[in-house]
Amino acid sequence: MSKLVTIFGGSGFVGRYIARRMAAEGWRVRVAVRRPNEAMFVRPYGAVGQVEPILCNIRDDASVASAMHGVDAVVNCVGVLNELGKNAFDAVQADGAERIARLAASNDVDRMVHISAIGADLESDSEYARTKAQGEANVLQHMQGAVILRPSIIFGTEDQFFNRFAGMTRMSPFLPLVGADTKFQPVYVDDVAQAAVQGVLGKASAGVYELGGPEVKSFRGLMQQMLEVIHRRRIIIGMPFLAAKIMAGVLDIVKFVSFQLFPNNILTRDQVRNLRRDNVVAEDAKGFVDLGIEPATLDSILPEYLWKFRPSGQYDDIQNSAKNLRI
């Protein structure tokens, strides 16, 4: 019988890549999600019955215990960038991580991989960063041999970073940026998945790994590179932090008074706090080198999925080439 892994949040941006790689390794994969009917797309990642979405709420002990019954390893990919309803930072990133690790330990699960984030800090003024750090501490309390991965901003076909800003260029001649000079070290989603798989297979030693791509660029620099890929010219405007804080405060108030009917997916005060800090791998941190992985560059990946934002989409290069024809 092949081994079994449960991936909590396995239909999400990172989780689906881990699920695909684990299936390729010959493992049976449980994709534990809140809405399994919306995660049926993971089934073709393996042979018939090899990859199955199941119902799970990480805020509930019985649900989590059921999802990891009989498994050999667990991967936790669950996280939130914006609190909504009962899915608060504490409930998901701190308590949820603790629940998964505690029940994994009590069920004698061999290995655990936990996806955290660069910037996780128990002393941070950001709830996102603080609860990420608390989640790490909770995991290590119960699963001392866990592999914890801290990626920088993650990019790839389904990302909500480059896709979001590239989409904005269709509607506006301006690109407003909060923290235009803040540095990032973007990492390709499948490289993060490869690191997670090494943790599941026991090829990575226990501990914390900070994952960043080969390039460190400012937020402004990343947007300039994106504009080159999509063949558009836009004016990049750096928004002062004070103005961003006021704007985010107003949006958060609207979210509150509307009883979250307006979810505020635009800008929150917590996001403004995070954007004040560089998001890059620490000099003394373990990373891709220790895992034997060579991370992909932005240039090798961005054109593969951002072409749809070009003025003429897939025909843009052809049209530009035609302009050079001499009749």
Q: Residue 83's pLDDT is what?
A: 95
pLDDT of residue 132: 98
- CATH code (residue 290): 3.40.50.720
Question: In angstroms, rounded to a whole number, what is the distance separating the alpha carbons of residues 87 and 238?
Answer: 31
pTM beyond 0.85, yes or no: yes
Give the Cα separation of 203 and 58 in Å (integer).
27
Number of domains in the chain: 1
Instruction: Show pLDDT as tens, one digit a residue, over the chain (327 residues).
Output: 699 999 999 999 999 999 999 999 999 999 999 999 999 999 999 999 999 999 999 999 999 999 999 999 999 999 999 999 999 999 999 999 999 999 999 999 999 999 999 999 999 999 999 999 999 999 999 999 999 999 999 999 999 999 999 999 999 999 999 999 999 999 999 999 999 999 999 999 999 999 999 999 999 999 999 999 999 999 999 999 999 999 999 999 999 999 999 999 999 999 999 999 999 999 999 999 999 999 999 999 999 999 999 998 877 776 666 666 665
Q: Is residue 230 part of a domain?
A: no
Residue 223 falls inside a structural domain: no
Q: What CA dihedral angle connects 234, 235, 236 and 242, to 10 degrees?
A: -140
C-alpha dist (Å) from residue 100 to 49, 66, 160, 281, 318: 24, 11, 26, 26, 51
What pLDDT sits at residue 313? 81
The token duo for 32 is 């534990």
Domain region containing 55: 4-156+185-214+279-295
Determine, yes or no, domain membership for 76: yes
Q: What is the predicted pLDDT for the residue at 174?
A: 96
CA-based nearest residue to 8, from 82, 111, 78: 78
Does residue 257 lie within any of the structural domains? no
**Half-sphere exposure in the Cβ direction for 231 (13 Å, CA):** 15
Backbone angles phi, psi at 159, to 5 degrees: -65, 160
H helical segments located in the chain: 15-24, 61-67, 89, 96-106, 127-142, 162-168, 189-201, 219-229, 241-257, 269-274, 288-291, 298-306, 316-322
> Considering the domain boundaries, does residue 250 fall inside one?
no
* pLDDT reported for residue 312: 83
Q: Is 35 left (phi over 0), alpha (psi -120 to 50) or beta?
A: beta
**Structural domain contains residue 304:** no
